[in-house]
Amino acid sequence: MTLETNKTLGGVGALLMVITPVAGFAGGMFTGLLGLVGLILVLIAMKGLADHYNEGGIFNNTLYGVVLTIVGVIAFIATIVVAAASFLAEFGTDWETLSTDPSAFSNMDWTQFTDLDLIFRNLTTVLIGLVILFVFVVIASIFYKKSLDSLAKKTNVGLFGTTGLILLIGAVLTILAVGFILIWVAGILLTVAFFSIKSEPVQPLQPPPSTT
């Protein structure tokens, strides 16, 4: 693919990822799919740019970051499932019973909900999941920054480096609401950075040497 194609794919992909949370708040039906398509387009663009500039780290570090983010999310979801299953078990029920018996939920003994020890155990499990997710996201953002720093040097678009820095700061601050805002802002900057890549001038054809 040409540099112009990779530039367009990356810009459109980043824009789709920026739109995803906005569409989610607006009640969009396919927001998850929108974000996934955006991520795939960005990965394709990063691979194309890595090949174009002969710098494998541009794509490899991005891929490592994506894999680490996915692993972190899966680990977090697993802890939520474990906590929920443990919580239901204390009430003498499980997922299968709830899905097959409409009255199971209303028949649960909710007096146990005042058991502070039960609540503390499950909240601890969820907290562990959040810590795991946080660690994976921060490490992933380090790889993203490495990739964007390399891209900034190759394209002479300093905004890529700025994007990587803001993304890393946002990842560290995800323990606060401002972190998620910074990550979203980094997505906007990434979109602008992709579209700011200057197309390489076409080299004029050299006339064939004269035979006279």
In a structure prediction context, what are the per-residue pLDDT tens digits for the chain, which is 212 residues long? 789 999 999 999 999 999 988 776 655 556 778 889 999 999 999 999 999 999 999 999 999 999 999 999 999 999 988 887 777 776 666 656 656 666 655 666 556 555 566 677 778 888 898 999 999 999 999 999 999 999 999 999 999 999 999 999 999 999 888 999 999 999 999 999 999 999 765 445 455 555 55
Identify the pLDDT of residue 4: 92
Cα separation, 43 vs 14, in Å, equals 10
Orientation of helix 57-90 relative to helix 116-155, angle to 10°: 170
123 in a domain, yes or no? yes
In a domain, 29, yes or no: no
Q: Which two tokens stand for residue 102?
A: 């409409």
Is residue 15 situated within a structural domain?
no
Name residue, tokens 């890393």.
Answer: 168
Q: How many Å separate Cα 79 from the centre of its chain? A: 19
| pLDDT value of position 114 | 59
Q: What is the distance between the alpha carbons of residues 103 and 118, in angstroms, rounded to a whole number? A: 23
Residue that is written with structure tokens 């680490």 in the block: 68
Query: DSSP character for 209?
Result: P
pLDDT at 82: 83
Residue 69 one-letter amino acid: T
Number of domains into which the chain is organized: 1
Domain that holds residue 149: 56-195
**32 part of a folded domain:** no
Torsion sign across C-alpha atoms 133, 14, 40, 153:
negative
Q: Is residue 165 part of a domain?
A: yes
Tell me, what's the pLDDT at 101? Answer: 63
